[in-house]
Each structure stands twice: as structure tokens, then as C-alpha cells.
Amino acid sequence: MPLDTGPDPSSLSNFQDAAVTHSHIELDVDFETRVLSGFVEHTAVVRTDGVAELALDTSQLTIEEITVNGSAARYRVSDPHPVLGSRLAVRLPAGVRAGEVVAVAVRYSAPPGATAVQWLPPEQTAGKRHPYLFTQCQAIHARSILPCQDAPAAKFTYTAAVRVPRQLRALMSAVPVEGEGRDDGDGGTADLRHVAPRPGTKVYRFRQGVPISSYLLALAVGNLESRQLGPISAVWSEPEMVEAGASEFAETPQFLEAAVELAGPYLWGRYDLLLLPPSFPYGGMENPCLTFVTPALLAGDRSMTKTVAHEIAHSWTGNLVTNSDWQHLWLNEGLTRFLERKILGRLYGEEMYQLQASIGALILKETVQKEFGEGHPLTALVPDLSGGVDPDAALSQIPYEKGFYFAASGPGVSHYLQELVGGAAAFQPFFRAYLQRFQSQPLGSEDFRAFFCDHFQANEVIAQIDWQAWLYSPGMPPVTNRYDESLAAGAYALATRWHTADVLGIGGGGPTAASPADIEGWSSTQLIAFTDKLGELRAMQPLHPSITRRLDELYGLDVRRNSELRTSWYQLCINAGDDAILPHVEAFLQEQGRARYLRKLYRALRRSRSSRARQAALDIFQHQRAAYHPIAVRLVAADLGLATADT
């Protein structure tokens, strides 16, 4: 049966006919039962005369009661689709007219297995004394914690009241309302109005006044403290990690200032960070007002804070100017990578921008050629997600790095759109106009193309752009960019020396006169350029294990705590069949749960020429899976060829 998805292939809602513009949410968080008891009142504006129902996305929710304009309403819940969940169709008053406003209120509960939620027992937290909960709604998990129009094109403001055990604190992707956190004993408005009271609890209140898409809803509950970072920024975490977070992310206010200079006023009121427990499955998540980050960013030397620059950049690209559906994710992620690298360039110089862009090009090549293969449909900038494709399973570095590669690079070198139209001087005004134009209207790739062509209509050179190939063809981009490699040159030359030494069979010694001095004073990013380049050069024929041992002896690459570097280095060793690295890989797979690292390493282990490594993939995963996030478990299990029932 065809899926009733409307304009967004990942949503069963009908936001085009009746759009929710504001939601008031009440949630009770019960760590005993792991159930979220909820109430939501949606304010919906009718867009199509006579529309019969408001269709919402849900996943595994138990619906208890629904009212429309205060009166009991009729509703239907469709049979669940394994990826998209169930359509909740609520009957609207007969003959509603476009522009009419309707209040649709739902009382419901979300079960312990709600896909947006990870409930952590105390043992999985830094403090080991209190439980913890966090959500991850991107791409289509918001529907598992509330009935909603779970489509990026459907935007709404929200207010929320969240009740939690008295000793814990709740945070959301919103600004906390003053006077929050009152005990249930206060009665009256201090408690939830629509969810039955519970002793020993507190209520926290929030307001998000900028319209957001549902994937940006976020909640965290735990034993949380904060440290101020700047005028509108603090880092939140468990007390055991909060000082480390404050030190690692101290540059946040400078990143924010640079972003404002590049992209315009910051509209969200606050920019806070929440440093999560290790099972958080992503590097960062751009939840408005409160970016979520993995503790795998705590390198100790601020060498991984580009993720914070990235999440700050989303405050414009993604959170304000939003892809119309997940097929156009490159508009969120590619342009955010562009702004992220611009921010880094402002703070650390143009060479840093170029170094990051050059590493990005290596990542793009690895993703297209090794991870997927040139002809794979998911290597297209705009993939087809119709038919109920799971967006989580489609996620890769393609929208980030191919999107960036398409958009822009720095001055003086040959690369795409930015250089084509005359460099940053011409591209920057376009970028600002683009942000202005699409702030209130989510867009797809063809909207981007039309706006770009209109903006640069006087520039004949744009006729050269092969939009069809860039947007829809799989494989490497139709144009090869060149980047300034001043900062990468040393790293690439060293990689070439090791590659040549191995090819010529110089053996365990590596290149003549190799020594720790080769990398003296190098930043972690330069070392990543080295390992990634070596990975590229040895894509067809892995290094000899004696070479990786010698590299380890001379450079001690995992002494640095940079997890990007460790992942890249471990991949080289695993591919080489170097079993001496296995205890280090195991320790790394135990200490953090970022899905990108897990997938790279488990896949490398599984493909290794060493039978010990192949077995280790299964053993470590079996041992660790309960500690990983369910999203990561599903993806790694699929990578390892384990049946869904095993997950």
C-alpha cells in the first residue's frame, strides 16, 4: 500500500492543510517506570478550506484522550509503519475555513522504549548516583515523545512544563522560565495542570519563542550543574565533568561573536552547552538554546571544539533556515560546515579554514569511494528517501562534505560556487541574503538553485553549473576543488614518505631517518591530516603491520586524547592487521558511544585481515551494546550483519 506521506516522505502528518504553530507541552518524567506521561495542546491554523482532520505523527504512543476546542474529539490511529510510526488523525469541526484557529489537546504516554529517549541508570553516568535521561529527536524521533507534525517544514513555538524527581534538573531546547524548579508542595500553578501529581517532584518551565521544527525539541534530566562561559552562554553537565567542560569549551563566546559577524544577529536568547554522558550517539546536536555534545570532545587541548563552532553555526543554517525535508539535509549540514569553517578561519586564520577544507575533501573521497562505492544512490547530494527509508540509516558525511564542497572554499584557489561567482566578496552577500530570504520558509534544493540563479543572474559564469550532476548524481562531484595546503603540506608529505617506504618494502623501519621530531609541534588537526592522507594513499593496499608498529613507537598517536585522531589511527592499524592495537581499540569502544566512531571501527574490525580482529568486533559489541544508545546499536548491528532480532 502506498504511504500516505504528503510532501515530506518521512512524515504522515498533514501540515500543508492544517499547521500547528504553537504547542504547550507538559511532561512527567518517571525514572521508576521509565514512562513519560504527557499532555500537549497544539494551536493549529487551518490552511485548506474544509480539511477534515489534523494528522499528527506518533510512534508507540498510548493515546488517552483528545479534545478539539475543549470538547471530546473523534480520532483514529493507523497501523504502525516500522520506520514512520502511526498517523494519528483527529477529526476537526466540519466546514473549517482557511485561517481558522483550532486547539487540539492530547493526553498520552510514551513507553520506556520511546526511540527519542535514552534512560540511563546511575552506573552509566559520571556520578554513578542518579539516573539520567536525554532525548535525540533528529531526524524523526520527536513523534515517539509527543504526537506532532514531525516534519522539518512544520515549525512551531513552544512552552513546556516538565516534572522530575526533586534532586534532578530538567533542561530543554528553550529558555528556562524564571522561578522554575518549584516543589510539588507549592500546589496550584507550580505543578502540571493536566498530568496527575506525584510526590517528591519539581516542575521546570521553558519557553521557545522562535519557531522550530520538531527535530529540535530536546529534553535532558539529570544531576546537572552549570559554569558560565560568557554573557549568554554556560556549560551544563554532571558536577564530575563540568569543570572539564568549562575549560574545553572556553572559546564558545568567541565562536559566537565570529558567527554573528558572519551570519547576522543571534535570535535565540541563550547559547548553552550540555555535556552528556558517553552514550550520546553524535558529536553534537544543535538543539536551540542548548547544544548537546558528546564527552568525546574532551580532548584536553580544545582540539575538537570545531564541533561547537558547527553547532553554533546551525543557529542560522538549519535552525533558522531549514531543509524542507530530510532529502535536502545538505542545505542544513553542508552550509553549516561552510559557516563552521568560516568561524574557525576568523579565529585561527585562513590557513586553518583551508586545512579543514582539505581534510574534508579526504573524508568525502573516503565516504564516496570506500564507505559506499561511486554508484551508490546515497552518495547523491539529494538522495531519494521515499517509501519509508529510515533517515538514520541514510546519514553519512555526504551532506556535510559534498555539501561544503559544492558551496564554497577560500580565496585564491579553484573550487566551487563561491569561487565561480567571484570569491567571498560576492558569495558573502549572497549568503546573508539567502539567510534573510529563507528564515521563515523551509526550502529544498530547487529553491536554493532558483534563489542562487536569481541572485547571480547577471553573472554569465553560472551557466557552467551542472546542477543535475551536483544535486542528483551519485559519486564524486563533477568538479575537483583545489585547496591551499600550506598547513596540510607537511602532513601530506610525511604520509607520502611512509607510504613510499612501505611500498618499497623498506620494512619495519619506515622512511629513512624517521623520528619523533617529524611531528614535533604539530596540532592534532595536522596529525589527522597525516593519518587521513595515509589512509587515502593506502586505500587499496593496507600498510604492513610492522609499519604501524613503527609509527606507534615513533609518534605515539593515541597518546593525544583527540578522538577523531584516535579513530583515524586505529583504522589504519586495524586495516594493517596489526593486532597489538586491539586492546586500545577495545578501550576506546568502551569509553565513548559516538556512532560515527563506533561504525568506522566496528566495520574496520569486521573487514580486517586478522581473524582476532574480526572476532573482537563481535565480542566487544556483545559486551558493550547495553551501554550504547539504541540508534548506535541499530546501526552497528546492521554493519556487523547481525539480524534485527539480535539488536
Ligand X SMILES: CC/C=C\C/C=C\CC(O)/C=C/C=C/C=C\[C@@H](O)CCCC(=O)O
**Nearer of residues 313 and 576 to Zn ion, judged by Cβ:** 313
Q: How many residues bind Zn ion (CB under 5 A)?
A: 2
Specify binding-site residues: 310, 314, 333
Grid cell in block for residue 554: 615513533
Which is closer to ligand X, CB of 220 or CB of 420?
220
- Partner in contact with 442, chosen from Zn ion, ligand X, none, beta carbon below 5 to 8 Å by kind: none
Q: Which does 391 bind (CB under 5 to 8 A by kind): Zn ion, ligand X, none?
A: ligand X
231 Cβ neighbours under 8 A, 6+ residues apart = 253
Residue 163 C-beta: closest distance to ligand X, Å? 27
Q: Look up residue 72 and give its amino acid.
A: A
As measured in angstroms, the least distance from the Cβ of 404 to Zn ion is 11
Cα–Cα separations (whole angstroms), residue 84 to 5, 80, 139 = 9, 7, 11
User: In the complex with Zn ion, which residue's Cβ is closer, 223 or 336?
Assistant: 336
Shortest Å, Cβ 332 to ligand X: 9
Binding site for ligand X (CB under 6 A): 138-139, 282-283, 285, 326, 329, 383, 391-392, 394-395, 399, 594, 596
**Contact by Cβ (8 Å): 235, 246:** yes
577 binds, among Zn ion, ligand X, none (CB under 5 to 8 A by kind): none
What grid cell was written down for 544? 604492513
Q: Is the dihedral of CA 564, 570, 576, 577 positive or negative?
A: negative
- Select from Zn ion, ligand X, none the partner in contact with residue 334, using the beta carbon and a kind-dependent cut-off of 5 to 8 Å: none
CB 286, min distance to Zn ion, A = 6
Where would I find the beta strands (DSSP E) of 61-154? 62-68, 71-72, 75-77, 86-91, 101-110, 117-120, 132-135
Locus of grid cell 497544539: 42
Nearer to ligand X, 386 or 541 (CB): 386
Q: Which residues are annotated as a binding site for Zn(2+)?
A: 310, 314, 333
- Cα separation, 185 vs 202, whole angstroms: 9
Assess contact for 35 and 60: CB atoms under 8 A: no
304 vs 98: CA distance, rounded Å: 49
Rounded distance, CA 305 to CA 253, Å?
A: 12
What is the distance between the alpha carbons of residues 71 and 155, in angstroms, rounded to a whole number?
25
Catalytic residues: 311, 400
Q: Which of Zn ion, ligand X, none interacts with 340 (beta carbon under 5 to 8 A by kind)?
A: none
Site string for Zn ion, 1-40 (x = CB under 5 A): ----------------------------------------
- For the bound state, the minimum distance from the C-beta of residue 494 to ligand X, rounded and expressed in Å, comes to 26
Nearer to ligand X, 17 or 311 (CB): 311
What's the min distance (Å) between Cβ of 401 and ligand X? 11
Residue 138 interacting partner from Zn ion, ligand X, none (CB closer than 5 to 8 Å by kind): ligand X
- C-alpha dihedral over 312, 126, 523, 304, to 10 degrees? -20
- Is the Cβ of residue 360 or residue 391 nearer to ligand X in the bound state? 391
Residues 317-346, one symbol each (x = binds Zn ion by CB under 5 A, - = not), give ----------------x--x----------
b/e burial code for range 31-58 (CB count within 10 A of at least 16 → b): beebbbbbbbbbbbebeeeebbbbbbbb
Which residue ranges make up the site for Zn ion (CB under 5 A)? 333, 336
